[in-house]
Amino acid sequence: MTRKLSHICRAAALGLALSLVGALSLVGISANAQTNAVGSGAWDSASTWDAGVPAIGNSAFINGGHTVTLSTIADADLVDLGAVAGETGTMEITAGANLYVANAGNPADFPSTIRIGQAEGSTGVLNMSGGEVFIDGVIPSGFGIGDLLVGDVGTGTLNMTGGQMLANHEIFIGLGAPSNGTVNISSGTLEAIGENILIGFEGTGTLNISGDANVRVGNFAFASFLPNANATINQTGGTFTVPAAFVMGRRGNATYTHSAGKFTANTFVIADNIENPGDVQGATVTYNISDDAETEVALNTVIGAFAGGDGTVNQTGGTYSSGSIMVGRDGQGTWNISGGVLNQTGTDAVAEVNNFFVGRVGFVDLPGSGQGAVNQTGGEVNIATNVFLGDFDQSYGEYRIGGGSLDVVGNVHIGAALASNAPADDVRVEPTGPDDAQGQALNASGALIVRGSAATIEIGGNLLANPADKSDFRSDASGAGRSNSATLGFEILDSSGVSLISVDGVADLDGAEIDLDLIDGYLPTVGDTFDLITASSFGATGTGTTQNVGTGKDFTLASEDVGAFDLEVISGGLGEILRATFLSAPMLAGDYNDDGVVNAADYTVWRDNLDSSVTLPNDETPGMVTSEDYDVWANNYGAGASSSPGVTIPEPATCVTVVLGALAALGRRNRG
């Protein structure tokens, strides 16, 4: 309260001071006069300046490698640190300082601003260990009035270990295209009271928050505002508070690495790409959360907001909570989680609010739009409402889980939500007749892929992987009844099978594809069984109005699994279980010596039988050995028991060279 009152009183006194400017000019002191530091020393020492100690109506310039220290009450219209190319200006603000930067004179020439690194090629440094700074400005103000500019056009650094730095309008870190601005704050408060903080407006901006520091804004925060801008935020402690939205990667590159401390916002956008044409790929935007970091987003987290935007979250620890989460809204989004806790917290599910979307909305003419992926290998994911994988037209959403836990209170929709299954007030509405436009999605695809047996998957509502219930009712100028798809993938690593998907409600799998893969050369014994899903029942959820009724069991087995597995629904578990039974080993195409791995030895078999009328083992084109068989071998090289990533596929000439080299070596050994 004392701080606020002192600034209010000083602001009120400004009017009286301005009335004296005309009188002062009669004795040689004019409004908006410039005073330059001519040596290092105290702010309030006349010997430090060439035109007297700065006051209201004066602009203070610190260049020439000089350092000015402030520990008392002071006033100025403008403070520039580093306003000459090739020169450096430094200011030290310590306990007892109270600097008021006023909005006096002509703001077009002398705005109430502190500019650190003002000129291109200059360097400015402000070190603050205590005291208070208030940069005044009319709200709403013009550009540069009531602003703090760290890296205006040059290189600027603000180091805060204490005190309060308050800008009545905005804070820019890396303003102009050639600028480089850095803020290091380990204690004290940095605040844009009226409006926004912009990290990397058109230049390069870095914000490092640690210790017990507080960084606050009155409205929005932006990281990388314009194309070619770069923004970096590193938070290892303290608090970062944004009452409106924090938009990362509005047009340029941005990275936020968060290992401790708390970040709070109403909305968090990662890879915005707004105002770019949809077919223009956005920049690289990444948020890394780990260790003891805590993030609370009241309304929406959006990754890949607009077409062309591509954002990634890497979560190895920490706790992230958000009312609604959209991974790949109109753009592309990825969330990788190997540790920590991810909470979708909103409970009043309405349209885009308070749900978990992976692949929200795609566009026919914008490839890659509406694409979302979640890759979970550990940690906890808790969903208070519903999950939508591939929610609306042209979208694709994939959730891959191999470890940790996934706990969903509501339903899981895979491959488009039906109008009647969608949240209340959604844009997808029920039709009143067969030709009415209504909101069933077209060409929306989703996949839930379970890898191994290390995860826990709990669904409190229904599992709705039922695209066959959705294709007969929507008439659309761009194509009636275009296909939606839903895939349930299961990657079997060993005899422990896969993590069971547990569904308290109904599993409706009408039109779903069940895809089973044997990984890393694992080969079950004929007759081995693998439980995939348990639910209270496998049945229809269609109403017959906007949905086909179906049976809930009209799923299909992926074509490559036919003959290798059999699927059946049996009694057990929560009521019923979808079980897979192994029938026989699938063909490993290209394994021409039938040893369970595709490698160089199979090339030898192919070469020795080239142009012969024989059928090789695991031959996709039986009857004649041709170059097509080589292509099959090359495409599958490295598959099987000895498979490893990054294997280089040898060309035929390379293989011949290898064989000849080996023969030559053998000959040398024999001669020896």
Between CA 441 and CA 400 the distance in angstroms is 22
Q: Read off the pLDDT of each residue in 526-548 and give the average, rounded to a whole number.
A: 85
Tell me whether residue 269 is in a domain. Answer: no
pLDDT bin (cut points 50, 70, 90) of residue 128 is very high
pLDDT tens for 176-222 read 999 999 999 999 999 999 889 999 999 999 999 999 999 999 999 99
So what's the pLDDT on residue 666?
Answer: 32
So what's the pLDDT on residue 546?
Answer: 55
72-86, 212-226, 382-396, 420-434 — which is least confidently predicted? Answer: 420-434
Q: Read off the pLDDT of each residue in 581-607 and give the average, rounded to a whole number.
A: 88
So what's the pLDDT on residue 642?
Answer: 38
572 with 639, same domain: the answer is: no
Domain boundary among 521, 555, 586: 586
Tell me whether residue 78 is in a domain. Answer: yes
So what's the pLDDT on residue 550?
Answer: 78
479 with 619, same domain: the answer is: no
Cis peptide before 140 (omega within 30 of 0): yes
pLDDT bin (cut points 50, 70, 90) of residue 468 is confident
Amino acid identity of residue 39, one-letter, is: G
pLDDT over threshold 50, residue 659: no
102 with 126, same domain: the answer is: yes
Residue bearing tokens 């004066």: 58
How far from the centroid of its chain's Cα atoms is residue 353's Cα? 18
Phi first, then psi, for residue 216 (nearest 5°) are -135, 150
pLDDT tens for 434-450 read 444 444 556 778 999 99
513 with 625, same domain: the answer is: no
Tell me whether residue 470 is in a domain. Answer: yes
275-284, 321-330, 346-355, 478-487 — which is least confidently predicted? Answer: 275-284
Between residues 550 and 545, the one the model is more confident about: 550
Q: Read off the pLDDT of each residue in 551-563 and give the average, rounded to a whole number.
A: 90
90 with 184, same domain: the answer is: yes
DSSP code, position 586: P
Tell me whether residue 648 is in a domain. Answer: yes
Judge whether 275 and 244 are in contact, CB under 8 Å: no
Q: Read off the pLDDT of each residue in 378-404 and give the average, rounded to a whole number.
A: 92
- Region of 657 (left: φ > 0; alpha: ψ -120 to 50; beta: rest) is alpha
Domain boundary among 586, 611, 630: 586
So what's the pLDDT on residue 109?
Answer: 54
Domain boundary among 219, 254, 278: 219
| DSSP sequence for 472-509 | SS---TT-TTPPPEEEEEEEE-STT----EEEEEEEE-
pLDDT bin (cut points 50, 70, 90) of residue 362 is low
Amino acid identity of residue 66, one-letter, is: H
pLDDT tens for 262-306 read 999 999 999 887 655 444 456 789 999 999 999 999 999 999 888
Tell me whether residue 618 is in a domain. Answer: yes
Judge whether 159 and 116 are in contact, CB under 8 Å: no
Tell me whether residue 308 is in a domain. Answer: no
551 with 663, same domain: the answer is: no
Tell me whether residue 202 is in a domain. Answer: yes
Please give the helix or strand (H or E) that residue 23 lies within, else none: helix 21-25
pLDDT over threshold 80, residue 543: no
So what's the pLDDT on residue 471?
Answer: 56
Q: Read off the pLDDT of each residue in 543-554 and give the average, rounded to a whole number.
A: 72
> Structural domain of residue 605, as residue ranges?
600-671
**What percentage of the chain carries pLDDT values higher than 70?**
78
Mean pLDDT of all residues belonging to the chain: 84
So what's the pLDDT on residue 572?
Answer: 97
Q: Read off the pLDDT of each residue in 11-17 and give the average, rounded to a whole number.
A: 41
Amino acid identity of residue 111, one-letter, is: P
Q: Read off the pLDDT of each residue in 135-152 and give the average, rounded to a whole number.
A: 76
312-321, 518-527, 651-660 — which is least confidently predicted? Answer: 651-660
Q: Read off the pLDDT of each residue in 403-430 and give the average, rounded to a whole number.
A: 71
454 with 582, same domain: the answer is: yes
Please give the helix or strand (H or E) that residue 19 lies within, else none: helix 2-19
450 with 505, same domain: the answer is: yes
**654: helix, strand or coil:** helix
Between residues 464 and 23, the one the model is more confident about: 464
pLDDT bin (cut points 50, 70, 90) of residue 41 is very high
453 with 548, same domain: the answer is: yes
Between CA 434 and CA 422 the distance in angstroms is 19
So what's the pLDDT on residue 430?
Answer: 46
So what's the pLDDT on residue 354?
Answer: 85
So what's the pLDDT on residue 294?
Answer: 99
Tell me whether residue 577 is in a domain. Answer: yes
170 with 123, same domain: the answer is: yes
81 with 201, same domain: the answer is: yes
140 with 9, same domain: the answer is: yes
Q: Read off the pLDDT of each residue in 550-568 and give the average, rounded to a whole number.
A: 91
Between residues 177 and 102, the one the model is more confident about: 177
- Six token digits for residue 224: 């990388």
Q: Read off the pLDDT of each residue in 86-98 and give the average, rounded to a whole number.
A: 98
Between residues 267 and 109, the one the model is more confident about: 267
277-281, 314-318, 355-359, 438-442 — which is least confidently predicted? Answer: 277-281
Domain count, the chain: 3
- Region of 168 (left: φ > 0; alpha: ψ -120 to 50; beta: rest) is alpha
Q: Which of 344, 353, 487, 364 is nearest to 416 (CA)?
A: 487
- Six token digits for residue 15: 């009017």
